[in-house]
Every structure is written in C-alpha cells, then in structure tokens.
Amino acid sequence: MLAGKEKSEKTPLKGSETASGKAPSAPKQVQKEKPVAEDIRGIVRIAGKDVKGNVPMRKALYHVKGVGKRYADVCATIAASKLNIEENIPVGKLSDAQLDEIESILSNPLNNGLPVYMLNKRHEFTTGKNVHLISNDLDYSVKQDIDREMKTRTWRGISHMYRKKVRGQRTRTSGRSGGSVGVVKKKLAPGSAPAKKEEAKK
C-alpha cells in the first residue's frame, strides 16, 4: 500500500499545469528602443522646419513648405553630387555648412540647374523674375496676391472678401457658414383679431 501511495505522489501533473491548477504565463517581451548613434543630432532645422535627425535627406526635404516630392527628389540629387554625400544620408549627420548649402539649392534652383517649369512663382508680379518661394516667403507672397486681388476688386478678390470659393465651385449647398434658419411665424395677440373685424364692418 505504501509503495502505491509513493507512485501516485510521483506521477507528473497533466500538461503544463502547476500545483495551483493554472498554466504558467509566458514572460512578457520588452521591446527595446533602437539605440541612436552618437554622431547623429536629434533635431535638425532645415529652411525654418524642425526635422528628426534620423530622417533621410530626401524625405526630410518633403517637410519644408513649398517643396513637393518631385522638387525634393531633384534637389536631393543635386545636393548629393555637389557635397559628395549619399542621397539618403540621415540629416542628423550633416554639418551646418552642408545644411546651408542645401537651403541655398532650395531657394535658388535656377543657379543649380533646375528647369524653369519646376518653380512655383514664375513671372513674379513686381519683378517679373522666375523664383521659387519656400516657408515664410511663400506665405507672405500668397497673402500679398490675395490683398492685391481684393484692392482691384476682381472676381476672385470679391469672392475672397465674402469668404466664398474662388475656383469655380458651386456654392448653392456647399461652403455655407452659419446654422440653418427656419421660417418663423408671428403669433397674433388674442385681443387684436376682433378689432380688425370691427374696422372692416365700418
């Protein structure tokens, strides 16, 4: 009998259950943060825009206002050949002199071999020159154009004055501001109706 009890005590538990009856929980995997290289700066400022240092140069130029994808790709290629660097180098590895050179390429594309049709401000109103505006210069130029349209009272200028759409869209249903106004009926006072009837009889 004793031998039988010893055997029953030594029998292993079914499956992976513990003495408490619950399966042991797997250890939680902790996600380790990727180490940042010491020679890469955390934040880099390009043409007035803060960009993370681990972003490739080609994609970092997308963040600048006035720089589209195609324009950024061409400028990145020119900067890479001019500075002898890779096009996808992290911007945190670039020096201040290299960043200044990239900004000059963005601001003066004609001096660096870009065609005229890629500029966003051809035949500028006051000077007649072909320029490419970015960041705050672009905002100021757009504001000046709108103010000039409003002063000359062109169709677009009048639409801007009344906060309407200026590109030919329909405005019967969309683009309306303010809440809906329903029909309000005036309530007549109870003593006023008989007085009108008496005047009609006279």
For residue range 162-187, what is the model confidence (pLDDT) as tens digits? 999 999 999 899 888 876 777 767 76
For residue range 102-138, what is the model confidence (pLDDT) as tens digits? 999 999 999 998 999 999 999 988 889 999 999 999 9
DSSP codes of every residue in 78-146: HHHHHHT--TT-BGGGS-HHHHHHHHHHHH--GGGT--GGG-SB-S-TTT---B---HHHHHHHHHHHH
Single-letter residue type at 171: T
Band the pLDDT of 156: cuts 50, 70, 90: very high
Domains contained in the chain, number: 2
Band the pLDDT of 199: cuts 50, 70, 90: low
What domain range is 102 assigned to? 43-116
Q: Same domain, yes or no, for 112 and 79?
A: yes
- What confidence score (pLDDT) does residue 42 get? 86
pTM: 0.63
- What confidence score (pLDDT) does residue 183 get? 73
Q: Which residue has the higher pLDDT, 186 or 54?
A: 54
Q: Same domain, yes or no, for 60 and 107?
A: yes
Q: Same domain, yes or no, for 48 and 110?
A: yes
3-12, 88-97, 180-189: which has the highest mean pLDDT? 88-97
Q: Same domain, yes or no, for 80 and 135?
A: no
Q: Same domain, yes or no, for 125 and 147?
A: yes
Q: Which residue has the higher pLDDT, 60 or 193?
A: 60
Q: Same domain, yes or no, for 107 and 122?
A: no
Domain at 88, CATH number: 1.10.8.50
Residue 95 within any structural domain of the chain? yes
Single-letter residue type at 195: A
Single-letter residue type at 167: R
Residue 125 within any structural domain of the chain? yes
Q: Which two tokens stand for residue 94?
A: 């670039």
Residue 48 within any structural domain of the chain? yes
